[in-house]
Chains A and B, each alone.
Chain A
């Protein structure tokens, strides 16, 4: 189905090559396929810079677990929305069918700059690369601990080849490794493609992977993933006063008890100052004598020469005095504060994909060596979450993961986002589109309203709203976990069935052998086979008892191996 969309899409948006130079786009421009903006007309209407319509999926069933999504275009800084989003559901399988399958779901959000190519490439290709990386270690990932139940004592259940490794590697580390590898590979792919396709620009990447009952968030750049949670307190108070706990009225107090946890850290010149300064200090030739690894409290002027000025050199955290020399008048590698901080006076984000040909403004110095696709990866083990069913606070306990580009975060605090999410969820307690409503509301608030003079303003404070592209994904983490539990249960049942079949087959074989022996031994006693048949049946009946024992053993093992 996904492919159908893609195909109809490609035909609808085949680019016109006449006006765009010699290299063509690798992927035709489009919005995420799950939005079903299939025609050029729809695409153009959605890119109205004056109205900035908020686009949500037309068919809510395309995203798993009722996950919400909403986006809106910038106010005119680029013709098209340069953000992209993607998701993919896949299964890791053992070709020999020795181990049960391992399904996973991935969501990605990519904020493009200097063109839409890199973000578009990432949204089309990242999931394939990630899958490749996961398949690469699937032998280790698929191995269940109970599979090792073959009588040979194992020192470490996640360490199948003791002779190969010097240290034990957990499943977690394998998945984190796969994510990291995928980030590097994606960046490499964009580098390769620039020989054949049009300059792609660059993009940030924020990726969530749900696998094996856990949530992993990998981020490179200034998009952000925040887990919004809520304490059960407010809800309990409401349900106690009401006879029917199912009929919970939207309660404004609900959202007060919400709290956010960041699952990614923004990578900007300011937050990554130390890394950037290290690169510059260790490889001074990268600066081509145009920059200094220095930061000044006040921008030095030529008239300050010979004076003592406050500065910090290289990776210093504190400040000290220095006498200003001519060399110090060059541009600092990192300058500015907060959202205005810039690397080489040009770029406001320091990790992500692409930007291979990006040159610094005025100096033409290569920027890429300072950038890295290396993501930070954080993990949450959902099996450790404590949630009391009577409290009906699954969304609060497991959390709702909000992934969004900086269009949202530039004007919204994590706290406010978390509050908005739970406000919307209590306003729409049962609706299928409740997470979509949360996403839509977040985008609407960050976009604000346009005033008479054509400026976008926040509704509550009249402060400037975001003029950037905004994309928001709202993932109900509990819905994933529920699916995972269900899958594990079926999986265990399947495994047991398979085991029972093997055991039964073995028993039947043994019984048949025994019978044959007896028949052979007592071939001359013709009246007795009937009794012996009964014995065989009795033997077979002991099988379930053995199975129960085996299952118990399995469960014990599972508990023991929960540390992973």
Chain B
């Protein structure tokens, strides 16, 4: 499938806030109540349409645990959008947002769009963080805000798509340099590049580049 643009996203936030579940709900439209701890990074992808244009989202789902923080930091590089997730039933995940935001601002490019997400909105009875608090935090730091539920799928589509819209608008405004892949945006190609270009292809033998091993 060809696309007009490819946007790279990164999902960040404390462990157990539902980052992997959000991704799964968005890419596979299903909910997995018990999810193994994410170690390192996992990838997801989905095609969406904005303004009549096909846009591919390549989503990097990162590990939330403190121990993985230094490795996760290297994944901000070249991300066009970030979903910063907290759990509305656990106050401490909201309290850690400042640290996450600092990390994100420091290691990403300055134009990265950050969407703040209060997840698990279906568990309203166990709510510890008011919606207004999330809104206030987002306003204060210039983020977009939304409450979602990976379980019921409420607002999940919107969260990913609204972020993409914001990025798309920035492209239209000329804020993003789309020719620099470090910005997390790639212009689509005509053909699908599933087949790797190979040195020495076609069995022609011949000289091979030195220093290959």
Are A and B interaction partners? Answer: yes
Residues of chain B lying within 8 A (CB to CB) of residue A50: 77-78, 181-182
Chain A residue at minimal CB-CB distance from B71: A444
Residue in contact with B194 in the complex, picked from A15, A59, A342, CB distance below 8 Å: A15
B40 located at the interface, meaning its Cβ lies under 8 Å from any Cβ of chain A in the complex: yes
Checking A199, A222, A449 against B203 with a beta-carbon cut-off of 8 angstroms, the contacting residue is A199
Query: Known contacts being A55-B41, A111-B213, A444-B71, is A48 close to B203, with CB within 8 Å?
Result: no
In the assembly, what is the distance between CA of A50 and CA of B183, in Å? 11
Chain A CB within 8 A of B172 CB? no
Are A199 and B200 interface neighbours, CB within 8 A?
yes
B78 near A51 with CB under 8 A, answer: yes
* A115 adjacent to B199 (CB under 8 Å): yes
Separation in Å of the A438 CB from the closest CB of chain B?
12
- Is the pair B45, A45 in contact by a Cβ cutoff of 8 Å? yes
Query: Are the C-beta atoms of B203 and A348 separated by less than 8 Å?
Result: no
Interface pair B203/A16, CB less than 8 Å apart: no
Report the separation of the CA atoms of residues A7 and B28 in the bound assembly, to the nearest whole angstrom. Answer: 20
Alpha-carbon distance A116/B201, docked complex (angstroms): 11
Q: Which residues of B lie under 8 Å from residue A53 when comparing CB positions?
A: 40-41, 60, 74-75
Cβ contacts B188-204/A at 8 Å (1 or 0 each): 00011111111111111
CB of B34 within 8 Å of the partner chain: no
Known: A79-B196, A115-B200, A444-B71. A433 touches B213 (CB 8 A): no
Does A406 make an interface contact (CB < 8 A)?
yes
Q: A440 and B77 in contact (CB under 8 A), knowing A357-B203, A358-B205, A361-B208? A: no
Indicate whether B211 reaches chain A with its CB closer than 8 angstroms. yes
Partner-binding segment picked from A33-41, A277-285, A521-529: A33-41
Q: Is A362 in contact with B181, judged by CB distance below 8 angstroms?
A: no
The number of chain B residues with a CB under 8 A from chain A is 44
| Contact-residue bracket for chain A | 35 or more
Return chain B residues, CB-CB under 8 Å to A348: 211-213
Q: Does A194 contact B (CB under 8 A)?
A: yes
**Interface set, chain A 423-449, CB cutoff 8 A to B:** 427, 433, 436-437, 440, 444, 449
Check: B39 CB closer than 8 A to any chain A CB: yes
A56: interface (CB < 8 Å) = yes
Contacts of B206 in A (CB 8 A): 359
Q: Cα distance A206–B124 when bound, in Å?
A: 55
A interface SS class: loop
List of B residues within 8 angstroms of A60 by Cβ: 36, 39
Contacts of B40 in A (CB 8 A): 53-56, 70, 440
Instruction: Evaluate whether A114 and B75 lie within 8 angstroms (CB atoms) in the complex, with A19-B195, A58-B42, A78-B199 already known.
Output: no
Interface presence of B54 (CB below 8 A): no
Considering the complex, give the chain B residue whose CB is closest to the CB of A366.
B205
Contact of B212 among A23, A39, A113, A194 (CB under 8 A): A113
Give chain B residues whose Cβ lies under 8 Å from the Cβ of A554: none
Closest chain A residue, CB of each to CB of B203:
A199
Q: Residue B195 contacts which of A16, A55, A349 (CB distance < 8 angstroms)?
A: A16
Contact (Cβ within 8 A) A114 B77:
no
A22 part of interface (Cβ distance < 8 Å): yes
B31 vs chain A, min Cβ distance (A): 18
With contact pairs A21-B201, A37-B43, A56-B40 given, residues A361 and B210 touching in the complex (Cβ less than 8 Å): yes
A-side contacts of B41, CB under 8 Å: 53-55
Contacting pair A114 B208 (CB below 8 A): yes
Which chain B residue has the least Cβ–Cβ distance from A440? B40
- Interchain CA distance A41-B3 in the complex, whole Å: 13
Q: Which A503-524 residues have a C-beta within 8 angstroms of B?
A: none
* Further pairs besides A359-B207, A361-B208: 11, Cβ < 8 Å: A21-B202, A42-B43, A45-B45, A54-B71, A55-B41, A60-B39, A79-B198, A115-B201, A204-B213, A359-B205, A406-B213
A and B contact pairs by CB, cutoff 8 A, 23 listed: A13-B194, A15-B195, A21-B202, A41-B43, A45-B43, A45-B60, A50-B77, A51-B74, A51-B75, A70-B40, A78-B199, A114-B208, A115-B199, A198-B201, A198-B203, A199-B205, A345-B210, A346-B208, A348-B211, A358-B208, A433-B39, A437-B39, A450-B77
A interface residues, Cβ below 8 angstroms from B: 13-17, 19-23, 29, 37, 39-42, 44-46, 48, 50-56, 58-60, 70, 78-80, 111, 113-116, 194, 198-199, 201, 204, 222, 342, 345-349, 357-362, 364, 406, 427, 433, 436-437, 440, 444, 449-450
